[in-house]
Chain A
Amino acid sequence: MSETLTMTRDAPMPWENRPVLKVEHVFMRFGGLIAVNDLSFSVGRGDITALIGPNGAGKTTVFNCITGFYKPTQGMLRLEHADGSTFLLERMPDFKISAKAKVARTFQNIRLFSGMTLLENLLVAQHNTLMLASGMTILGVLGLPGYRNAERKAVEKAKYWLEKTGLTARADDPAGDLPYGAQRRLEIARAMCTEPELLCLDEPAAGLNPRESAELNALLLGIRETEKTSILLIEHDMSVVMEISDHVIVLEYGTKIADGSPTEVRNDPRVIAAYLGVDDEEVEVVEETLDEIIEGAAT
């Protein structure tokens, strides 16, 4: 039903208009296992796009294909910058996807440089810019001023992102010492220091409490607003997905089962059956009981 919903719509969806990323007929096989099966979707420019689905549906595999950690068995991933330059991601090695195509990512099980300080983490993210400024190290060893200026700028940018993520006070602490929620934020700050065109977040709200999730929402909306970065995220926390995303894609067994606005997807019976498990009524009942309890406490 959802397919008919999206297929028969007359006007193209807003995200189909010059999308930042267009995934076309991507397959990913591991031996006999088909992890991603003929998947196509678009990530709208300046949108927050959510990729959801049951565990093991292939969401992280799609991420790994986009960021070059896997090469898709088949299919095309076309990334287009705002200035019109395009990149075929399936043909690029992973580090070039980040350096040239400007796709940054975070990881499901946080991968920070835990023995380095927050500031160092954010400077490593600006490696390529700094490397050029240091004249491929040679000028840097001699201590020429050109590099020092570049480093000052890099530190400024790091400070900007520390400020945005509320981590300034801990700038000189090792990343491994941060509490879980702060580590998640630092990972986003580090990705943003690469000045990405597309930011891919793998379960950014996992392990966060509702308050921290709300802060994350604010951070992501801010990134979209001020940096004009498009965001693609995998998330199970519906309070994040439904509140901030413009466009939701649902995967099951490596195939797309729904694609549309949050409201469309939330009401799609296939999505409810495969993923959400509760229909909206039940959610409302839960919220009502919660309200009742609280009201009871108040009186």
Chain B
Amino acid sequence: MTGQNGTPLLSVQGAKTYYGKIIALKGVDVDVHQGEIVTLIGANGAGKSTLMMTICGNPRAREGRILFEGRDITQMPTHEIARLRIAQSPEGRRIFPRMTVLENLQMGAALDKLAHFDEDVERMFTLFPRLKERVAQRGGTLSGGEQQMLAIARALMARPKLLMLDEPSLGLAPLIVKQIFDVIGELNRTEGLTVFLVEQNAYHALKLAHRGYVLVNGLVTMSGTGKELLQKPEIRAAYLEGGAH
């Protein structure tokens, strides 16, 4: 499928991250190639969000390296990492609650110097018509799901080279989840957007992704194409089945 040769866009090599004295990532290797959708699945507390935050330099990896476009970004300050066009829709949404929806989107587009602002805002509103209805409302007054949409839209406004989404489906209605996954897939197909996706909704994520990694207790235990992973019985048992169905 996508070109796997050459240097990956993002390469995490042996990353170890600690919270104080507690180790959260025990040496993680992950590659994301240009134009790929890569998903990271795993149980709660496995370290998925930590890996995503580590890539952004907060917390910083105490060992190992993180390369973006072949450049070592391990020790780079978070805001400079963001300037490399790595956009993130973080866990817990983290929208600006006292700014309006439009202002939130402007903040997202700041890295793009507002060059394509009108065009991109229109695109976001087609994607999330709900945000258009709320455009002048303050972020904090949106419902949980609407805030989630706003966080994703804000990340997309930066026209990122790498889009990192932490549980985009959290708290969203099934219809919207489907739309978001469709949109991610479409942006990837038409514009070659590279996506690194953390999802609890493993079935959807693996179906969408080119490749996936399974994270267990801070270690990558399995990787492969989305289809391969979907077929593995241990994945099915751990992440797809609800147990007592």
Chain B residues with CB under 8 A of A56: 130, 134, 142-143, 145-146
Q: Tell me if B30 counts as interface (CB < 8 A to partner A).
A: no
**Residues of A contacting B233 in the complex (Cβ-Cβ under 8 angstroms):** 294, 297-298
Please state if A238 and B174 are interface contacts (CB–CB under 8 Å): yes
Say whether A275 contacts B173, CB under 8 Å: yes
Asked if B5 is an interface residue, CB under 8 A from chain A, the answer is no
Cα-based distance from A298 to B234 in the complex (angstroms): 12
Q: Mark A268-299, 1 if CB is under 8 A from B, else 0.
A: 00000011111000000000001001101110
Q: Is B164 an interface residue (CB 8 A)?
A: no
Which residues does chain A contribute within 8 Å of B178, judged by CB atoms? 277-278
CB distance from B93 to the nearest CB of A (A): 9
Q: Does B190 contact A (CB under 8 A)?
A: no
Query: Which residue of chain A has the shortest Cβ distance to B243 in the bound complex?
Result: A214
Which of A58, A207, A278 contacts B174, CB < 8 Å? A278
| Chain B residue contacts of A217, Cβ below 8 A | 242, 244
B173 touching A209, Cβ below 8 Å: no
Expressed in whole angstroms, the Cα–Cα distance for A180 and B49 within the complex equals 11
> What residues of chain A have their CB less than 8 Å away from a CB belonging to chain B?
30, 33, 52-61, 108-109, 179-182, 203, 206-215, 217-218, 236, 238-239, 274-278, 290, 293-294, 296-298
What is the interface of chain B, defined by CB distance below 8 A to chain A? 43-45, 92, 130, 134, 137, 141-146, 148-149, 167, 170-179, 200, 202-203, 227, 230-233, 236, 238-245
A-B contact pairs, 9 of them (CB 8 A): A55-B149, A57-B143, A207-B167, A209-B200, A210-B241, A211-B238, A236-B171, A275-B174, A297-B233
Excluding A55-B173, A56-B130, 5 further A-B contacts by CB distance (< 8 Å) are: A55-B143, A207-B170, A211-B238, A212-B44, A297-B233
